[in-house]
Amino acid sequence: MIEPVSPEYKKFYDIFESVDQTKVSEFKDFLDANAVNFNLFKDGSFIERSFPFDMIPRIIPKEEFDHLEAGIIQRVKALNAFLNDVYGEQKILNDGIVPREYVDSAKGFLPEFMGVISPKGIRTHISGIDLVKDAVTNKWIILEDNLRVPSGVSYPLTIRRAFRHTYPEFFESMKISKIKQYGDQLKAAMDYVNTGGLNVVLTPGRYNSAYYEHSYLAKITGATLALGEDLIVENNEVFLRVYNGERRRVGAIYRRLDDDFLDPQEFDAESLIGVPHLAAAYRAGNVAIMNSIGNGVADDKGIYYFVPQMIQYYLNEEPLLSNAPTYLPYYEKDREYVLANIDTLVIKDVAEAGGYGVLFGNRLTPKEREEIIAMIVADPRRFIAQEVIEFYDLPCMMEGEILPRKADLRAYVIHGEEISVSMGGLTRYAMEEGNYLVNSSQGGGFKDTWVVEL
Amino acid sequence: MTNDVAISLNTAQRLYWFGRYVQRAETLLRELVNSYDYVIDRDVDDGRKLYAKLGVELDYSNALDFLKQGVYGEHSSSIESIIRWARENAIETRHLLDERGFAALNKIHNHIVAGRDSVVSPTSLEEMIDDFALILGIFSSELGRPKAYNFIRLGQYTERFDLILRLYSDLDLVNAELEGMNAIARRLNDSYQPLVISATDISEVLDGVNGVISRVIADKTSSQSQSQG
C-alpha cells in the first residue's frame, strides 16, 4: 500500500510533471562517474557497485518530522544513559527493569570495559535509527537502533547536491530542509569529545563495502582518514604515523570497524585492520572512540525490547515513538505465544544484522518451521519475534514506470554537546515487489528524504 | 585559507603513486599516438622499439593493432593497467582530491573498461590526452590542500624524469628541471637533502630520481613499493 499523497507530495508531483524527466539518467551518470559505491561481496568476489538510486524522494512534512525528531532524540538519550549505566553502576539491572542475564548474554556486552568512562559521558556519538511507517496506524515505528557503525549517511548527502544541480526547480519552489550541515555537526561532535589531538576516521580500507562513505566523511569533516596500520599506541596514547616519521597525537577516532576488529590485543587476535592497544588508550581516557567500545549491548535485538522501559526509567518520560510489537521467547508466556503463532510472526536472530537471520513465519516450509521451533526452544535468548508490520510502500521509478516498493527510513543522529537529527535521512527501498528486506547489503536501493514545510 | 590535514605514510605513498600513474598515462598516450604515425609512415617496428625501452615485448600486426596492444595488451605498461592503478590510488586518496578531477579520471577508467572489445582509434586517444591535461589542471588549481597536491606533483616529476631517461636518455633535460622537483620535496620535508645529478650512467640517475620519495617519507622501501602499483 502506497502512503497517501500529502499536500507536500502533491507539490512535488506538480513540479515533477513539468520538468524534463529524461534528465533522470544524469543521476546514474553522476553516481557512476563519482564511484558513489556501496560495494558487495558475492560468492567470494568483490564487486564495485554504485548504489541504485530512485529520484522520487520520500517526503516527510516538517510537522511530522518534528515529532519524529523529538522521539529519536529521546531514544538516543535513553540509550546513551543505558550504556553509561550498564558499564557503570548497573542500576537498571539491579532494579530489575532489564534482566541481568539479558545483558550478560548479549554478544555486544564487554564486561572487561566495566568502569570505563567515555569522554564527556557520550557513547552514542553517531546513531542510525531505522523506522517504518505503519500503513495500518499511519504511525512511525522503530525497527532497530544502530549504535555501533551505522552506515549510509553519505549517500543522501551526496545525491542532494546532484539533485540541486539537475532539478533546481524543486528547491526553488519547495521549502526543503537542508542537510549539508551534517559535516559541521559531525566535526563539532568530534571536537567536543576530542581529548587533544587530531580527529581521525578509521577505515578498514578500500575493500570495505562503505569505503566511499569513510572517505566522504573524512573529507567533509577535515579529519584524517587512516588505516589501522597508520596509528600507533604508545604509553596508552594514540598517534598518527605521519609520512615524514613524525607522530601526531590523536584525540578522537570515528571508527568504521566493529569492536571485534578494533584491537588485536584485546579482541580478535587475527585482525589485521585494527590498532594494537587501542582499547588500553580508550580505557585510560586518552582517546574518544566514536562510537564507544561495547555499544553492541544496546542495539542487541533482544535489548531493543526494553528501550521503552529505559526511556521511562532514565528520563521519566513516556516514549514518543513505539517499538514494533515484540516478543521475547526468553519469557515463558511470550515463548508460548511465539510457538503458537509462528506462522504470522517474523523471527529474528539477535546476533545477525543487515537483513540476515530474518525469517518470515508465513514463508517457512514445514521442515524449516520445525527446525526454527526447535532452535527457539533450545536457545530462546537467541531470538526475538515480531508482528509483521505492514509498512507503506513508496513510489519508485523503475524502467519508466512508477511502482510501489517497501521502504524504510534510517535517521542519523549526532550526539555531541547537543543531540541533533539530520533533517532527512536515508530511505532504502527493496528492488522486488513485496520484499520487506530493504537493506543495502540485500541489494536494495536508496532515495533522498525531504523534510518539507508548506 | 588552507585546510591542510595530517597525511599518513600510506596516504602519502598513494598520492605520490597517483601522480606517477596519471603522468605515465598521459605521457604514454602521447607516445602511442606519435608512434602510430611512425608505424604507418616510416618504420613498422617503431612501436616495438618504443616498448622495448620500457622492457615490454610488444607484438602487433598493423598500426591499429599497435594501438590496441598499447592500450589493452597483457603487459604492465598497457594504458588500461596504468589507468586502473591511477584510479586505485585515487580511490584511496579521494578525500584529498578535487571531486571533479576524481570524476574525470573515473570516467576515463569506465570508458576504457567499456571499450575493451572495440577498435582503438587515435582520435579517442587524443581525447583522452586532453582529459588527462584537464585532470592535471584541476589538481593544480586545488589550493586548499597543498601538501596533498605536492605529493602528486612529486609523483609527476618522478615519472616524467623516469620516462625522459628511459625513452630518450636525456640527462640535460632532467638536470634542467631538477630544481623544481627538489623544491617540492623540500616543501614536504624540511630535512630533505636535494638530489644532485653528477653521474652519466642512466641507470644510476634513474635510481637517484626514483629514490627521491624515500628521502621525503620515512618508509625506506617506498620507492620500490609495488603495493602502490
Chain A (66-95) residues lying within 8 Å, Cβ to Cβ, of chain B = none
Record the cell numbers describing residue B40, joined without a space: 604507418
**Which residues in chain A have their CB less than 8 angstroms from residue B215's CB?**
none
For residue A240, the surrounding DSSP H or E stretch is: strand A237-241
Residue B211's pLDDT is 97
CA distance B43 to chain A (A): 39
C-beta of residue A31 within 8 angstroms of C-beta of residue A50: yes
- Tell me what pLDDT residue B199 has: 85
Instruction: Kindly tell me the burial class for residue A208, based on how many C-beta atoms sit within 10 Å of its own C-beta (0-12, 13-18, 19 or more).
Output: middle
Residue/partner pairs of A335-340 with CB below 8 Å, 24 or more apart = A335/A376, A335/A377, A335/A380, A338/A376, A338/A385, A339/A373, A339/A376, A339/A377
Q: Is A96 on the interface with B (CB under 8 A)?
A: no
For residue B3, pLDDT over 60 is answered with: no
How many CB atoms neighbour CB A421 within 10 A? 23
Cell triple for A454: 508548506
**Which of A387, A414, A429 is at the close of a domain?**
A387
Could you tell me if residue A1 is inside a domain?
no
Query: Do the Cβ atoms of B8 and A241 come within 8 Å?
Result: yes
**Mean pLDDT for chain B overall:** 91
Residue A144 CA to residue A75 CA, distance in Å, equals: 11
Q: Which of B143, B86, B151 is nearest to A244 (CA)?
A: B151
Q: Tell me, what's the pLDDT at B228?
A: 47
Cis status, amide bond into A291, omega within 30 of 0: yes
What share of chain B has pLDDT > 90, as a percent? 83
The answer to whether residues A383 and A398 belong to one domain is: no
Residues A364 and A427 in one domain: no
Query: Across chain A, how many H-helices and E-strands are there?
Result: 15, 22
Q: Which of A346, A361, A387 is the last residue of a domain?
A: A387
| pLDDT for the residue A68 | 98
pLDDT of residue B170: 96
Q: How far is A35 from chain B (nearest CA, A)?
A: 7
Clarify whether residues A191 and A152 are in a common domain. yes
pLDDT digits (tens, 9 = 90+) for B91-134: 999 999 999 999 999 999 999 999 999 999 999 999 999 999 88
- Say how far residue A413 (Cα) sits from the centre of its chain: 9
The pLDDT of residue A87 is 98
**Residue A403 bridge partners (DSSP):** A396
Closest by alpha carbon to A440, among A38, A37, A126, A99? A38
The mean per-residue pLDDT over the stretch B38-44 comes to 96
Q: Are residues A155 and A130 located together in one domain of the fold?
A: yes
Find residues 154-173 of chain A whose CB sits inside 8 Å of chain B: none
B113 touches chain A (CB under 8 A): no
Q: What share of chain A is helix, strand, coil (3-state, %, to 5)?
A: 35, 25, 35
How close B197 gets to chain A, by Cα (Å)? 24
Residues 6+ apart with CB under 8 A from B109: B83, B84, B86, B87
Residue A2: inside a domain:
no
Asked whether residue A345 falls in the same domain as residue A436, the answer is no
Same domain assignment for residues A31 and A177: yes
Q: Out of B3, B12, B91, name the one closest to residue A243 (CB).
A: B12
Given a cut of 70, whether residue B1 has pLDDT beyond it is no
In terms of domains, do A237 and A342 share one? no
Contact A218, A190 (CB under 8 A): no
For residue A360, how far is the Cα from the chain centroid? Answer: 22
Confidence of residue B225 (pLDDT cuts 50, 70, 90): very low
Contacts of A35 in chain B (CB under 8 A): 91, 102, 106
- How would you label A328-344 residue by residue, b for 16+ Cβ within 10 Å and e otherwise? bbbeeebbeebeeebee
Q: pLDDT band at residue B219, thresholds of 50, 70 and 90?
A: low
Number of domains in chain A: 2
Q: Residue A349 is part of a domain; what is its CATH number?
A: 3.30.1490.270
Contact B11 A245 (CB under 8 A): no
Q: Please choose, from the candidates B7, B5, B28, B22, the residue with its C-alpha nearest in 3D space to the C-alpha of residue B140.
A: B22
What letter does residue A315 receive in the DSSP assignment?
I
Beta strand spans in A86-221 (E): 126-133, 140-146, 175-176, 198-202
Which residue in the block uniquely carries the three cell numbers 525469517? Answer: A359
Question: pLDDT for A251-292, tens place per residue?
Answer: 999 999 999 999 999 999 998 999 999 999 999 999 999 999
- Could you give the C-alpha distances from A19 to A6, A255, B227, in angstroms and in order? 20, 42, 48
What is the pLDDT, as a whole number, of residue B5?
A: 82
| Full domain range(s) for residue A375 | 325-387
Task: State phi, psi for B178 to the nearest 5 degrees.
Answer: -60, -35
**Average pLDDT over every residue of B54-82:** 97
What is the chain A residue with the closest CA to B7? A242
Is the same domain home to A149 and A189? yes
**Contact between chains at B216 and A244 (C-beta distance less than 8 A):** yes
Chain A partners of B223 at a C-beta cutoff of 8 Å? Answer: none
The residues, any chain, with a CB within 8 Å of residue A141's CB and separated by 6 or more, are A131, A132, A133, A134, A321, A322, A323, A324, A389, A391
Boundary-marking domain end, from A387, A405, A432? A387
Which residues in chain A show pLDDT less than 50?
A: none
Answer whether A245 sits within 8 Å of B218, measured CB to CB.
Answer: yes
